[in-house]
Structure 1
Amino acid sequence: MPDLAIRKRIVTVEEIFHEGGPPSATPLKRGAVIAVIANPFAGRYVEEIASFMDVLKPLGLEMAETLLAAMGVEASAIEGYGKGAIVGAAGELEHGALWHVPGGYAMRELLGDAKAIVPSTKKLGGPGTRLDVPVTHVNASYVRSHFDAMEVGVPDGPKADEIAVVLVMTTGARIHARVGGLKASEIEGKDGLR
């Protein structure tokens, strides 16, 4: 299995005070970490790719730790998460799917065995491609106030033979969430849904 080659990393943290309504006493923090890595399968079809997930697992944990530190909060403060990948043009969508296990399980482990599935998206694209990474509550996917997304991208990536892998975390609900549904305070935590 090929070694992991990282070209660059980008970390972004937003603080959202309001979106037209009254400012919140505590701003919502929303952060993303992106690693641009070489795609060892670019330019050719390779049948057995799943074992590369094991190579990516340490990167997932390192990225989750980096993002949490950049956000300046404890793991217990994270309420939302998501992941994604942008695959360069010489790759295939399935190469982005290699990030599902390493990215998702890294955040779940770091956050204390979060219950909900980590939402995900992936696409093919070249340098500057933007990706809307979906976000849901870490313990119950049906908590409507936490349905969100964070737009990310790399100005000079991914190149054709690269993949940009992404993790996103948030500290709470959308800043002015008020459309009903299951509340975070009502989570039962039995199945990762409710």
Structure 2
Amino acid sequence: MSDRDVQTEAFFHDIEDQIFSRLRNEANSPSGREELLRATGTHDTLLIDELGKLGITADGLLALRLFPLVLVAWAEADADANERESVMSHATALGIAEGTTAWILLDRWLTKRPPGLGVDAWRRYTHQMFSTMSEVARERLIDLTQKQMLEVAKASGGYLGLGKISAKENAIIHQVVESMRLPTDFR
């Protein structure tokens, strides 16, 4: 890599850090917290704190729906290009457009491993959503999430990147599905 390439990469990394810092500040501002409270329909201040630390604003909340796919992408040493493409394809199908806050969050999580706090926030938010859903709707969302995680796992495994799911990917898929099915009391 040339010096110019290194400088260019550092420049874009700095811009990304500035954008993410702005999102975190916005999410933690009084108006940002109020918007998150409205968007989530929760009174769980711990969840709002966790979302703020992750830089998740009300308009970025949709990215949290795909957080399990990000976990599968990071099951191995890094999230590779095929896994990233698979996650972003699911984002597009969900209506997340390039350049939106949700897209920026997903891109960040696929570039830098998200903190463990993300798992806690995802679980807390998911179970709060489940409390307002029918059993059929919950099962459909769990099945859809599992199918999407399997697609991300298959994106880079096996022969020519097709078909094989690693033991680590399988373990994460199993853990996510089980955590979605287990009743959780976050009081």
TM-score, structure 2 as length reference: 0.28
If asked which structure has higher relative contact order (CA below 8 Å, sep 6+), I would say: 1
**Greater share of helix residues, 1 or 2?**
2
**Greater share of strand residues, 1 or 2?**
1
